[in-house]
Amino acid sequence: MDLSLHERTALVSGGSQGIGRAAAHALAELGASVIVLARNAEPLQRVVAGLPVANGQIHSLVTADSADTPALREAMRALCADRQIDILVNNTGGPPGGLAMTAAPDDYLLAFRQHLVANQVLAQAVIPGMRARGYGRIVNVISTSVKEPIRNLGVSNTVRGAVASWAKTLAGELGPFGITVNNVLPGYTRTQRLDQIVADRVRTTGKSEHEIQQAMLASVPLGRFASAEEIANVIAFLASPAAGYVTGINVPVDGGRMQSL
């Protein structure tokens, strides 16, 4: 099985922590040169310093805010003038919890800008180079909510579904050029996002953190939360040559929690 990413370059957004950081490590372990992108340079510097280096790999960072579309576009213009990107991992932290019916319109607009619009800006920057080389991998880290909406995550459910449909459409458009587009749907994963969801449920229910976590795990056949590394392993596979005939799909990594096929 060909998993080698030697002489490939990957751009990982949201690369300073959680699943993004784990994905950067997984891709580097397969031989890719990795560029991590997020708002703050200091945590990105720590990530870059910790990535494995062999066979001429060059790791670096880019700072940009996914909510600032013009600045993100300019950062990508400068990056792609200097580096060729073969793998794009779109990964952005989820919107705050809350009911869909009580969310402000601006909450939806911000979420679409941070997720769908930012993904579009990054994709438009890297796709020309991918087409020229006949190889490209776009992997979007979204949520199991695209299959089964999650209660009290109204804005997130909405924007995640939009990203899934965008990705499916893009997969059809880019397939003829050797570019695949896939979505990874993490289940309950030990990240800051999980901490945020648990804290929200503690506030709204009055239950303890332990009670909330046990209730969540009761729905997971494997009986535990995922590690960020387990999600990253699936991302890395989809980025590899071995996954060259896999495109336009949603891949749940949820310990069997979802009831749908």
Instruction: Please tell me the predicted confidence (pLDDT) of residue 116.
Output: 98
The amino acid occupying position 52 is P
Q: What value does the mean pLDDT of the chain take?
A: 96
Q: What 3-state class would DSSP assign to 203?
A: helix
Determine, yes or no, domain membership for 107: yes
**In this model, does residue 245 exceed pLDDT 90?**
yes
Instruction: Please tell me the predicted confidence (pLDDT) of residue 54.
Output: 92
Tens of pLDDT, residues 209-242: 999 999 999 999 999 999 999 999 999 999 999 9
Check whether residue 80 and residue 207 sit in a common domain.
no
Check whether residue 194 and residue 247 sit in a common domain.
no
Question: How large is the average pLDDT for residues 88-110?
Answer: 95
**In this model, does residue 197 exceed pLDDT 90?**
no
Measured CA to CA, the distance from residue 141 to residue 232 in angstroms comes to 10
Check whether residue 140 and residue 204 sit in a common domain.
no
Instruction: Please tell me the predicted confidence (pLDDT) of residue 50.
Output: 97
Determine, yes or no, domain membership for 1: no
DSSP notation for 5-46: -TT-EEEEETTTSHHHHHHHHHHHHTT-EEEEEES-HHHHHH
CB 97, CB 197: distance < 8 Å = yes
Question: How large is the average pLDDT for residues 100-121?
Answer: 97
Instruction: Please tell me the predicted confidence (pLDDT) of residue 94.
Output: 87
Check whether residue 177 and residue 218 sit in a common domain.
no
Per the structure, the count of domains in the chain is 2
Instruction: Please tell me the predicted confidence (pLDDT) of residue 196.
Output: 85
Check whether residue 67 and residue 167 sit in a common domain.
yes
Determine, yes or no, domain membership for 2: no
Per the structure, the complete domain to which residue 75 belongs is given by 9-187+227-252
Q: What 3-state class would DSSP assign to 246?
A: coil
**Confidence band, pLDDT 50/70/90 cuts, at residue 55:** confident
Determine, yes or no, domain membership for 144: yes
Give CA angle at 87 (261, 180), nearest 5°: 45
Alpha helix (H) residue ranges in 83-153:
105-112, 118-133
Q: From edge to edge, which strands make up the β-sheet containing 87-91?
A: 60-63, 33-38, 9-13, 87-91, 136-141, 179-186, 250-253
Sign for the CA dihedral angle at 32, 85, 239, 59 comes to: positive
Tens of pLDDT, residues 138-154: 999 999 999 999 988 99
Determine, yes or no, domain membership for 257: no
Sign for the CA dihedral angle at 34, 39, 40, 43 comes to: negative
**In this model, does residue 18 exceed pLDDT 90?**
yes
Check whether residue 210 and residue 137 sit in a common domain.
no
CATH of the domain at 120: 3.40.50.720
**Confidence band, pLDDT 50/70/90 cuts, at residue 125:** very high
Check whether residue 233 and residue 111 sit in a common domain.
yes
**In this model, does residue 107 exceed pLDDT 90?**
yes
**In this model, does residue 208 exceed pLDDT 90?**
yes
Check whether residue 109 and residue 126 sit in a common domain.
yes
Instruction: Please tell me the predicted confidence (pLDDT) of residue 261.
Output: 83
CB 155, CB 126: distance < 8 Å = no
Instruction: Please tell me the predicted confidence (pLDDT) of residue 194.
Output: 87
Instruction: Please tell me the predicted confidence (pLDDT) of residue 53.
Output: 95
Tens of pLDDT, residues 142-186: 999 999 999 889 999 999 999 999 999 999 999 999 999 999 999
**Whole-prediction pTM value?**
0.95
**Confidence band, pLDDT 50/70/90 cuts, at residue 119:** very high
Determine, yes or no, domain membership for 241: yes
Check whether residue 124 and residue 240 sit in a common domain.
yes
Check whether residue 135 and residue 174 sit in a common domain.
yes
**Confidence band, pLDDT 50/70/90 cuts, at residue 111:** very high
Determine, yes or no, domain membership for 18: yes
**In this model, does residue 246 exceed pLDDT 90?**
yes
Check whether residue 197 and residue 247 sit in a common domain.
no
Check whether residue 202 and residue 131 sit in a common domain.
no
**In this model, does residue 21 exceed pLDDT 90?**
yes
Percentage, residues of the chain above pLDDT 90: 90
Determine, yes or no, domain membership for 221: yes
